[in-house]
Amino acid sequence: MHIHEFARAAAAAVNAHDPAAVVALWAEPAAYQSPLTGAQSGLRALQEREEALFAAFSDLRATITPLGQEGDTGAMLVRFDGTHDGVYGGFAATGHVIDLEMIAVVTFDDDGRVVAERVFIDSAAVAAQLSA
């Protein structure tokens, strides 16, 4: 899969709040690294992370802009916005509308599925938006 196809499919899955559709874009070891969650691995962890995200932001929307790809690695700008109406990352629901941007670097396997993602995000901005 190319980063452009992945960005379209991932945005559609997130905007449909469909954890299974997100997981279908991935393959083991499904390695994930983010300042918000720390290191995680496995499709089950991915499923649980997506379910928690959708439960915490019931109207979450994603806009994903592909930035480029070299070999099996691609980068994209991910923008999330939605209402923080559930617990997420230890933060109680605030009712605040969040607007977060991050860079995600993904690695594809030979079948075009994501096997790794590393997220770069301003953790202070996240904390400020999720604080009561």
List the 97-108 sheet strands across, edge first. 38-40, 26-34, 114-121, 97-108, 73-83, 61-70
- pLDDT, tens digit, 9 for 90 and up, residues 27-64: 999 999 999 888 999 999 999 999 999 999 999 999 99
- Token pair 């299974």: residue: 20
pLDDT in the model for residue 74: 98
| Mean pLDDT within 117-125 | 93
Output the pTM of the full model.
0.92
pLDDT in the model for residue 126: 86
Q: Could you tell me how far CA 53 lies from the centroid of its own chain?
A: 9
Look up the domain containing 97 and give its range: 3-130
Number of domains in the chain: 1
CATH code of the domain covering residue 57: 3.10.450.50
pLDDT in the model for residue 132: 63
Backbone angles phi, psi at 121, to 5 degrees: -145, 150
